[in-house]
């Protein structure tokens, strides 16, 4: 499940990954909340929608766009809060949550970490074989996040395993050095 968090428009998409880089779109929607609504009510609406999606679709993982400081702090705060309530809903259901930066998503989908929204939308359409572009852009961004995670997750998992193995080998090596030093001192 890919999520492009936002208070006014929050894109949510579900994809299924197949062999290689094959990805199929299963569902996509945009949760909208009016700006005149109280913040707590807006977050509750987003949370409720996320709970519904999680309960109906039961995804294996939720990929959420990582929020970076934008020019307007209030926009960044709202985006982070929306992402937070979705992460909470997933955690309550023991669904792992992964975060991807906008440049990671753009690079995964278009090959260019600085691609614009039109390029991302075009590539999402091409990758998923869509005839019409997802609208608004938040829907395409949610699909792009889901695609990014499908493509990056195996590599991220292999890197985590390699890092864990390296840390274990380092710990064993340091323990053997400590034993050797201790033996040298006791002689």
Please count the other Cβ atoms lying within 10 Å of the Cβ belonging to residue 47. Answer: 18
Contact criterion met (CB below 8 Å) for 19 and 154: no
Active-site position among 27, 55, 138, 141? 138
Contact criterion met (CB below 8 Å) for 140 and 117: yes
- Residue that is written with structure tokens 């949610």 in the block: 142
Active-site position among 65, 94, 116, 183? 65
Half-sphere exposure of 186 (CA within 13 A, CB side): 6
User: Can 29 be counted among the known catalytic residues?
Assistant: no
User: Can 138 be counted among the known catalytic residues?
Assistant: yes
Q: How is residue 39 written in tokens?
A: 């913040």
Please count the other Cβ atoms lying within 10 Å of the Cβ belonging to residue 102. Answer: 20
Going by C-alpha positions, the residue among 132, 128, 130, 59 that lies closest to residue 93 is 59
- Residue 117 CA to residue 16 CA, distance in Å, equals 23
Active-site position among 4, 38, 157, 168? 4
User: Can 4 be counted among the known catalytic residues?
Assistant: yes
Tell me the catalytic residues: 4, 65, 138
């Amino acid at each position: 499940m890919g999520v492009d968090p936002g208070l006014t428009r929050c894109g949510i998409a579900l994809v299924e990954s197949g062999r290689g880089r094959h990805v199929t779109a299963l569902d996509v929607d945009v949760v909208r909340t009016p700006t005149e609504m109280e913040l707590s009510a807006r977050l509750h609406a987003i949370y409720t929608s996320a709970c519904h999606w999680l309960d109906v679709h039961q995804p294996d993982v939720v990929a959420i766009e990582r929020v970076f400081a934008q020019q307007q702090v209030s926009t960044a705060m709202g985006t982070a809060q929306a992402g937070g309530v979705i992460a909470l809903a997933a955690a309550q259901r023991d669904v792992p949550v992964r975060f991807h930066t906008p440049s990671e998503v753009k690079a995964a989908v278009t090959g260019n970490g600085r691609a614009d929204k039109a390029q991302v939308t075009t590539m999402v359409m091409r990758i998923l074989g869509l005839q019409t572009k997802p609208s608004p852009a938040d829907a395409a961004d949610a699909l792009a996040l889901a695609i990014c995670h499908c493509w990056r997750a195996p590599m991220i998992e292999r890197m985590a395993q390699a890092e864990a193995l390296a840390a274990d080998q380092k710990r064993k090596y340091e323990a053997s050095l400590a034993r050797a030093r201790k033996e040298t001192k006791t002689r």
